[in-house]
Structure 1
Amino acid sequence: MQKITIRQSKIIAGQGVIAEENIKKGIIIEVVPLLLMSMKEFDLIKQTKLYYYFFEYTNNHFAIALGYGSLYNHSYDPNARYLYNFKKKQLIIKAIKDIKKEEEIFFNYNYYPDDKAPLGDWFPKNHEVI
C-alpha cells in the first residue's frame, strides 16, 4: 500500500486523499474494506451524512467504504480508479496515471474513468465537480 493522508483539498472544498510519496501508474494505492448494508436500510441512511459517502454495490446492497475509501474526491479526469473485489467485500483503489507526492488522488464516481455522465441525485448540487 502507498503512503496517503487526508488533508484539506486544494481543488475542492473539504478534505481529500493526498499522496505522501510518488505513486506509479498501475500501483494499488489502498485496499478498502466495505461495510455492506441492505437496501432496506437505505432510507435510514438517506437521512444522515453517510448518504453522501455510499457506494452502489449490488441490486440488494450498498456499501460504506472504510479506511479512506469514502474520502476520495470525484473528477472527470481522474488519476486513480476503484475496482470491486466482491469475494472479499473490498474496493481496490489503483493509480491509472503517475501521481506526484502532495498531489490529490481522484477517481470518477461513475466507476469508469472516462464516463462523463452527470452524477446522480445523491451528489450535492453545491459541490464543485472537476
Structure 2
Amino acid sequence: MPFDDSNWQEKFKIKKSSKKKAGKGLFAKVKIKKGEHIGYYTGRVLNGKQILKEPYISSSYLMEVTEDYYILGEGKGSSFASMINHCKKPNAEIVVSTRWKTARIRAIKKIKKGEEIFYDYGEEYWDNKGVKPK
C-alpha cells in the first residue's frame, strides 16, 4: 500500500459522533486538504459465499470491493477508517482498487480541524440493510 496509516492518531481522533444514534465518529485533529489520503478501510477479507452467513451478513462494517471480495471493518485487523459515518453531503469518498483489492478514503473537500469525516455509503448499502439513509 502506497500510504502509511501507522501515525493516524496524529491526524485523527475517534469520539462521539455529531450525528444522533451514530455512535462514534472520526474527527480531524488537523486541516485536511482536498484530495488528501485519510486512511485505508481494512479488516478481515471475505468472499461472496462467506458474507451470506451470520454474523457477516448483518454487519454494518461490511464493504464490497469487488463482486467476490469484501472487507469486514470490525474486529481484528480493522482500522480507524471504519469509524467514518454516512452522510448525504460527505467531505470524503471511498476509492476502490479492484486491481489491488483495497479501499481507501480521501477528502473530496477541505476538512477543518475538529470537523467530523463522512462519506456516502451508497444506495446499495442501505438497500441491503432495508432502511433509508439519514
| Normalised TM-score (structure 2) | 0.75
* Equivalenced residues, count: 121
Contact 2:37–2:104 at 8 Å: present in 1 too? yes
Runs of 4+ in 1 over 4 A off after TM superposition: none
- Shift of residue 118 of structure 1? 8.4
- C-alpha distance in structure 1 between counterparts of 2:81 and 2:35, whole Å: 18
Query: Please, what is the CA RMSD of the aligned residues?
Result: 2.6
What is the SS of the residue equivalent to 1:121? helix
1:20 corresponds to: 29
- Shift of residue 71 of structure 1? 1.8
- C-alpha distance in structure 2 between counterparts of 1:70 and 1:109, whole Å: 12
Asked whether 1:9 is paired with 2:17, we answer yes
Contact 2:66–2:101 at 8 Å: present in 1 too? no
- Shift of residue 50 of structure 1? 6.2
Q: Of Structure 1 and Structure 2, which has the larger fraction of its residues in strand?
A: 1
- The partner residue of 1:77 within 69, 78, 89 is 89
| Normalised TM-score (structure 1) | 0.77
Q: Which runs of 5+ in 1 are unaligned?
A: 111-115
- C-alpha distance in structure 2 between counterparts of 1:84 and 1:35, whole Å: 16
Amino acid at match of 1:64: L
- C-alpha distance in structure 2 between counterparts of 1:23 and 1:56, whole Å: 26
The structure-2 alpha-carbon separation of the partners of 1:56 and 1:92, relative to structure 1 and needing over 3 Å to count, comes to same
Q: Which shows bigger deviation, 2-11 or 15-24?
A: 2-11
What is the SS of the residue equivalent to 2:32? coil
Q: Which runs of 5+ in 2 are unaligned?
A: none
Asked whether 1:30 is paired with 2:39, we answer yes
Amino acid at match of 2:32: I
- Shift of residue 9 of structure 1? 0.6
Contact 2:65–2:101 at 8 Å: present in 1 too? no
Amino acid at match of 2:18: K
Q: Which shows bigger deviation, 97-106 or 28-37?
A: 28-37
What is the SS of the residue equivalent to 1:94? strand
- C-alpha distance in structure 2 between counterparts of 1:50 and 1:4, whole Å: 28
Asked whether 1:120 is paired with 2:134, we answer no
Amino acid at match of 1:61: Y
